[in-house]
Amino acid sequence: MVREPGRVLTQVRVYTGIHTPHRNAKQHGQMQRRMIAWVAESPETVEIFPRSLRYGIGRPPQEKGVDVELAIDLVALALDNKFDIAVLASADTDLVPAVKFVTDRFADKTVVTLAYEPIEGCTCPAALDLPSGNVDRRAVTQRDFNRIADKRNFYESASDVSAGLDPARVERIRRRYDH
């Protein structure tokens, strides 16, 4: 797509599952540090929406409700006219109805779907690619990804990732992610 002038990135909203501290303390800790680091880097812009993973017998932990929460927010923020362009980084086809609602209802809004350009022979999920006129698809190649990759190690509990962030907000984040 052609980049339009006057675009302003006003918010980054991250939806994710997170291990509970009882079931997987190491993964929980690294994810919590990762999320705090994101917020610390831009407290006015980044908002995190974590949900505890669900554990079953004989299967890997699963996310529950993450896609629904994202879909509701996409629709709600469109209804409230909080964005002109929504960049949606997901290949989850469960989000298609929400994207379709936004683009059908609001002719002045654009949804950009962002997904990875697979290597040859990959059987991975296809990018969201809707026929609607206000949906643009942007493929991220492996070269793109390597250029922007975040290679920090959040397993080191000693690293202080909350420097510069309001301690009250750090505490609020920790409490929120510890339920």
Report 143-162 residues binding another protein (CB under 8 A): 144-145, 147-153
CB of 26 to another protein, least distance (A): 11
Q: In this complex, which beta carbon is closest to another protein, that of residue 21 or of residue 51? A: 51
The sign of the CA dihedral 154, 156, 64, 141 is positive
| 13 in contact with another protein (CB under 8 A) | yes
Q: Which is nearer to another protein, 123 or 163 (CB)?
A: 123
Residue 165 near another protein by CB under 8 A:
no
Tokens of 150: 């975040």
Residues 6+ apart with CB under 8 A from 88: 74, 95, 99, 111, 112, 113, 114, 128
Q: Provide the 8-state DSSP code for 126.
A: P
**Nearest to another protein of 100, 138 (CB atom):** 138
CA distances from 40 to 43, 70, 84, 162, 171 (A): 6, 22, 26, 6, 12
User: Distance from CA of residue 102 to its chain's centroid?
Assistant: 18
Residue among 21, 24, 55, 63 that touches another protein (CB under 8 A): 63
Minimum distance from residue 93 beta carbon to another protein (Å): 10
Residue from 29, 55, 65, 85 touching another protein (CB under 8 A): that is 85
Tell which positions 109-138 bind another protein, by CB under 8 A: 112, 114-119, 122-125, 138
Cα 115–Cα 120–Cα 123 angle in degrees, nearest 5: 65
Amino acid in the structure at residue 37: A
Of the candidate residues 56, 57, 80, 167, the single one contacting another protein (CB under 8 A): 80
